[in-house]
A and B are shown apart, each in its own frame.
Chain A
Amino acid sequence: MKTPSNTAAHKGYLLCHTCHLLSQAGIGVHSSHCSRCGTRLHSRKPNSLSRTWALTLTAYILYIPANLLPIMTVTMSGKGEPDTIFSGVKELVTGGMWPLALLIFFASITVPVLKLLTLTYLLLSVHFKSSWRPKERTTLYRITETVGRWSMIDIFVIAILVALVKLGSLATIEAGAGAVAFGGVVVITMFAAMSFDPRLIWDALENNHE
């Protein structure tokens, strides 16, 4: 932090996000094309904040049916038993499968909730031009971006179970609408994390110096 304004945006450089080539665009130029790979260059991801807000809020809304509706229904000898994400975890606990219960709890409940809260926090911190611990907030962003994919476990388990447990009147497993909503939450939060530009965290820091 010796020279706070020594950034690509200040000095008129644009970094290509596809091929990492640094182009000299001239001061005040905010978009151009990469001379190596032809990708459209932007000083910051376009409309990063509004896009990330829109996707994050959508994910919050979808998170409600994802948890209230059954993700799958197990029918054994004619008796159907709908399972939500949470009741699935509870069943694993009562069945004594602690490690599995913890894994599913982490992947299906902890990760999506923390991801949504982290994105909200990052958005608010940029909105209010916070200059508090930008390095840690950037690390938080990187974790959010990489950990989201692991929430897909439950969806894959459903995909495997529906095809395997097809024993007619003996036992069948059917997917539920909650799984669609949950899949939506995972995909939309992944897009939300991709549309967030961590450089905005550092921009607030520079404007405070001026």
Chain B
Amino acid sequence: MPQQTNAQAESRTHLTACHDCDLLFHIPHLKKGEQAHCPRCGALVMERKGHSLDYSLALALTSLILFVMANVNVLLRMNVGGRTQAENIISGVNELYVQGYWEIAILVLIVSIVAPLLKLLCIFYVLVPLRLNFRLPYAKEVFGFYEVLNPWSMTEVYMLGILVALVKLADLATINVGIALYSFAALIPFMAATDASLDDHDIWESLEPTD
């Protein structure tokens, strides 16, 4: 009898290894919203998010719209003695490049524009076909690339940089805040919610060939 219950329990669990300490252990079948932590080192090993693809796609689409608005509009405008100077993210990159600091220009371009944009595009490339039941080539590679890009997308750090620049200049000149700043501020929570809504274990299982 005990063996039978053990076997029954086994069938509802699966073996996994902790990515941080390499311990092998069985994860029980997780219900929506449940998390599994490594019993030895405490690492978060699995989480069943249970959000629908529509939910993630809606958040990603909102993020994309806000991202475009944050990049095509004016971020900050400064008035000193009748002269006005406006800037946005790309003009900062351009000015660094013009001054000869192409290394930081490229770094800022990647972490504040390229990585966040590519991240969102990767999400669409992977989730839209899953939602509409068709297949696109290299979906697994694209989703793997999304996970590689993640640490390099620094929109929230950039937002803090804007605030620091604002405070620093407040004494010297009149600063007007542009539409891009509001869009950018709104982008941060939407981007975070998009990432948090994705269940990577679930997506990898869905991307597995079913034949």
Contacts and interface: CB of A to CB of B under 8 A. Distances in A.
Given A37-B144, A100-B168, A162 B99 contact: yes
- On chain A, which size bracket covers the interface? 35 or more
A161 to B, nearest CB: 6
Interface in B82-126: 83, 85, 87, 89, 91-96, 99, 101, 103-104, 107-108, 111-112
A158 B99 CA distance: 12
Interface in A192-206: 194, 198-199, 201-203
Contact of B85 (A155, A166, A194): A166
A154 to B, nearest CB: 8
A167 B85 contact: yes
Q: Indicate the member of A13, A21, A95, A162 with the most B CB atoms within 10 Å.
A: A162
Contact of B201 (A11, A20, A201): A20
Interface residues of B, number: 61
Interface in B1-44: 15-17, 19-25, 40-43
B171 interface: yes
Interface stretch (B49-57, B61-69, B156-164, B186-194): B156-164
Contacts of A155: 104, 107-108, 161
Given A156-B160, A161-B168, A199-B22, 15 more contacts: A7-B22, A13-B24, A18-B144, A36-B207, A36-B208, A37-B141, A100-B168, A159-B95, A159-B96, A163-B92, A165-B78, A175-B101, A175-B104, A183-B107, A201-B21
The 8 A-B residue pairs whose C-beta atoms are closest, nearest first, are A156-B161, A8-B17, A159-B92, A163-B87, A19-B204, A160-B165, A163-B92, A7-B22
Interface of A: 1, 6-9, 11, 13, 15, 17-22, 36-39, 92, 95, 97, 100, 103-104, 134-135, 138-139, 141-142, 149-150, 152-167, 170-171, 174-175, 179-180, 183-184, 187, 190, 194, 198-199, 201-203
Interface of B: 15-17, 19-25, 40-43, 46, 75-76, 78, 80-81, 83, 85, 87, 89, 91-96, 99, 101, 103-104, 107-108, 111-112, 140-141, 144, 147, 151, 154, 157-158, 160-162, 164-165, 167-169, 171-172, 200-201, 204, 207-208
